[in-house]
Copies of this chain bind each other. A is one copy, B any other.
Amino acid sequence: MEEFILLENQLCFAVYETASEFNKLYTSALQPFNLTYPQYLVLLSLWETDSVTVKELGEKLSLGTGTLTPMLTRMEANGWLRKERSKADERRVFIHLEAKALEQKQAITNIISKEIQSCHIELEEYKQLMERLNQLHHKLKNRVN
């Protein structure tokens, strides 16, 4: 019992710290592009599927409009994307990548890649971590209340 509490504490702290470490790593790598880590995650999502609504983007990133709206406004101001209210349903706002985001994709990806590779993470390590994290994430999300 006492052991369980210790483990819980260690685990939540380990996740907390690793996330914060990722944040710092990406933030510094993205600095030359005037991008933050969460903004990069938005780009990642849009590079995969462009022209989605704010709601759809929020579902993919698990973020609400309280976070997304101001962030997208900043990204629009910096020329990464464009917000366009739907004519068919004026409640919805579509997000479209701007040319800049497509042009810089390779350069951004390269820098991040170089940065991560400097950590020397093995393929096997990736896979195990991913599997465990997804397992945990799933359990956290779908727990019985």
Contacts and interface: CB of A to CB of B under 8 A. Distances in A.
Interface of A: 4-5, 7-22, 25-26, 41, 44, 62, 109, 112-113, 115-121, 123, 125-130, 132-137, 139-141, 143-145
Given A15-B22, A25-B140, A137-B18, A8 B112 contact: yes
Contact of A118 (B118, B135, B145): B145
B130 A17 contact: no
Nearest to A120: B139
A133 B135 CA distance: 14
A62 B133 CA distance: 22
B14 A134 contact: yes
Given A4-B113, A5-B113, A11 B139 contact: no
16 contacts: A4-B116, A5-B109, A7-B127, A8-B113, A11-B130, A12-B22, A14-B129, A15-B15, A15-B22, A118-B144, A119-B143, A120-B139, A125-B132, A125-B136, A128-B132, A132-B132
